[in-house]
Amino acid sequence: MSHCYYHALSSVKRWGGKPEDYLPLHSWFDESKKIIADPRHRALRHHAEGIFMLETIFGVTILNSDGRDVPVRLIGEQHVTEDLGRIPSFADWARQIQPAPWMLRGNPADSPGLETSH
């Protein structure tokens, strides 16, 4: 889905309430668009750990405007599945990153032949 509002409408169809009940959660997933405005933004939160982070931030359930408690993890699973068709792990995302030389540099002090003062 292209916008968190449409995810919120989908949540309303599943659990009732109003889109405003769900927008903060769906917006949290897509905040990473301000860092990179293409589908790669999803690597930051669209995975199993991201769903558990959502629950840590928003609580185990939210109370929607119909008075129904809705599990936050289910809302997160809905968002990720609608975007990706499944719930990947972070490792699934990381395996797709091609390491560049600058990523592979260690601490220069750990390199052979370099002395360090402690």
**pLDDT tens per residue across span 44-60:** 999 999 999 999 999 99
Q: By the 8 A CB rule, do 8 and 29 touch?
A: no
pTM (two decimals)? 0.85
Is residue 56 domain-resident? Answer: yes
Predicted confidence at residue 113, as pLDDT, reads 58
Residue 95, in any domain of the structure: no
Position 107 in a domain: no
- Whole-angstrom distance, CA of residue 70 vs CA of residue 23: 14
**pLDDT value of residue 32:** 94
Determine the Cα–Cα distance for residues 87 and 118; give it in Å rounded to an integer. Answer: 46
Looking at the structure of the chain, the number of domains it has is: 1
- Residue 118 domain-assigned? no
Q: Does 48 map to a domain?
A: yes
Q: How far apart are CA 90 and CA 95, in angstroms?
A: 9
Q: Domain residues for 71?
A: 4-87
